[in-house]
A and B are shown apart, each in its own frame.
Chain A
């Protein structure tokens, strides 16, 4: 960095006007002084409660900027397989009912109805909407990637389970997360599967194919304990199995279109993950590698360890700055200007060399491509990396 820019950084940081500590924090200090060890009263619940009033009061897992921007699919090649399974089906018999979708089956009690059709979820790599069941209410239609004017809602539908007796349960799945993904909450077992209970309204269950099902409950606070118990009973009936969307290899290559404005091809024998890794301004979209990656073992290693004789490529999307001046770009990826940076050995991640490309996606979004290569066999691995890069296509469809 030039001294000028370093000074600009100092000045910019110095000029930020930041709020003072809120009164609640001083009150907490006083509590510590007066009463000794108080219960921790974190504020997160309050924030969610304040923000959860609109459309669907479902707390669902959002993945980075997809849901923040409402962005939707890029150039989906005509030969691309559907990224999502077909709509789940449910039986309509009286009494306990069975919900069935690829990889998941469970029984839900009488009085609840399968209203999954009310939800239109974007086709995004790594996340699939599985189910929405509700009790005592008709859930208003929800489109998570809607960009147009909202469709008038039927007067009889409700967006949140606010009334006593109403409740909504939504289920999403993270598909192909890193197998070493650590999860928040209390570790437990649900129906024999490893699971984590984050709080009174959120459960995560790991399926046999390493997918993660996220179950979220929305109910009036007065009903929460009782409904939570019945949901845990319902989850006891879960049957999970490995499932996979149909993929067709063409000339030994698979096409990957994560629904984020870019797509690429990679060798059919490679591995693929959707990392669910979000930082302040960017999020990991997909990682492919010529072998199995290993989890980090040190703080200095941020994503994964690249094993010997392996090339790994991670694609991230961030809301980049209005600069750099793309007209000065030194590379082209998928027809878009790009800047390249080469790194030397990345010891903590095990790589012999690293390469980064920042590619203009859709201003101001930037596609970051992070490749790490570890020999032996560096020339072949670089060639494989370049083949993936040459296959990248950028653009939106529809």
Chain B
């Protein structure tokens, strides 16, 4: 099996990867959508992640670890897209003016908590989504993001502080600029 896995093009291994991906396709698409805030881009990202998973099937040593392995691929694809988007974003000017009908973009309209979450920086929002939406432990979040657990904790702390400020208002501090 090791030899077969090493080829990465072995039909059985690739088939297994695709079967596992099929079972989690809805979740993967939704996670990508929440991260990217855009239905079409989520579709692109999920597709790209599927291809990367298929191409790198050899790197999946233990099928039991498929979830974390594929999550990491998907999150990396999404982060690449956020990074590119953060630098330069090309959009049709008319698109910007159209009312949103994107369920991922519209979640901020649901309540003040989600609005505060969507206002976070990309990395903070990632941590929040993986921990609270995907129900992952901080260690599992760290594994998917490739960060030390301490970094995940500090990002989470910062994200929650920022959300608290937006949702609850300040709790302390005197007048100042």
Contacts and interface: CB of A to CB of B under 8 A. Distances in A.
Contacts of A333: 177
Contact of B167 (A54, A183, A302, A321): A321
A19 B92 contact: no
Nearest to A328: B169
A6 B160 contact: yes
A16 B48 contact: no
Interface stretch (B62-70, B106-114, B136-144): B106-114
A25 B176 contact: no
A76 to B, nearest CB: 23
B131 to A, nearest CB: 10
Nearest to B162: A341
Interface in B127-147: 128-129, 132-133, 146-147
Contact of B88 (A9, A33, A61): A61
Contacts of A17: 103
A369 to B, nearest CB: 10
B55 interface: yes
Interface stretch (A36-44, A80-88, A96-104, A225-233): A36-44
Contact of B50 (A9, A18, A29, A56): A29
B160 to A, nearest CB: 4
A320 B166 contact: yes
A8 B113 contact: yes
Given A20-B29, A181-B87, A5 B168 contact: yes
Contacts of B90: 59, 61, 184, 198, 202
Given A21-B25, A386-B177, A389-B177, A9 B87 contact: no
A60 B96 CA distance: 11
A44 B84 CA distance: 14
B7 interface: no
Nearest to A66: B96
B55 A25 contact: no
B163 A5 contact: yes
Contact of B94 (A5, A9, A46, A53): A53
B114 A51 contact: no
Contacts of B114: 12-13, 16
Contacts of A330: 170, 173-176
B158 to A, nearest CB: 8
A9 B163 contact: yes
Q: Is the interface of B mostly helix, strand, loop or mixed?
A: helix
Contacts of A67: 93, 96-97
B175 A29 contact: no
Contact of B168 (A278, A324, A357, A390): A324
Contact of A9 (B44, B85, B113): B113
Interface in A206-264: 212
Q: Which range holds the interface residue count of chain A?
A: 35 or more
Interface in B1-27: 9, 14-15, 18, 21-22, 25-26
B75 to A, nearest CB: 12
Contacts of A386: 177
Contacts of B25: 21, 25-26, 29
Contact of B89 (A2, A29, A52, A62): A62
Nearest to B106: A16
A273 B41 CA distance: 29
Contact of B29 (A9, A21, A390): A21
Nearest to A142: B93
B94 to A, nearest CB: 4
B54 A183 contact: no
Interface stretch (A105-113, A131-139, A161-169, A279-287): A279-287
Contacts of A56: 93-94
A323 B30 contact: no
A371 B105 CA distance: 29
A288 interface: no
A310 interface: no
Nearest to B172: A330
A158 interface: no
Contacts of A46: 40
B18 A29 contact: yes
A298 to B, nearest CB: 10
A48 B92 contact: yes
A9 B132 contact: yes
Contacts of B14: 32
Contacts of A12: 110-111, 113-114
A200 interface: no
Contacts of B22: 26, 29
6 contacts: A9-B128, A25-B50, A61-B91, A68-B97, A280-B37, A325-B169
Given A56-B94, A386-B177, 17 more contacts: A8-B113, A13-B133, A19-B103, A33-B18, A40-B47, A44-B40, A51-B98, A55-B93, A55-B94, A58-B93, A60-B93, A182-B84, A280-B122, A299-B147, A330-B174, A340-B176, A357-B177
Interface of B: 9, 14-15, 18, 21-22, 25-26, 28-30, 33-34, 37, 39-41, 43-44, 46-48, 50-51, 54-55, 82-98, 103-104, 107-108, 110-119, 121-123, 125, 128-129, 132-133, 146-147, 151, 160-170, 173-177
Q: List the 8 closest A-B pairs by CB distance, nearest first.
A: A21-B29, A324-B169, A51-B95, A1-B160, A54-B94, A13-B133, A321-B115, A21-B25
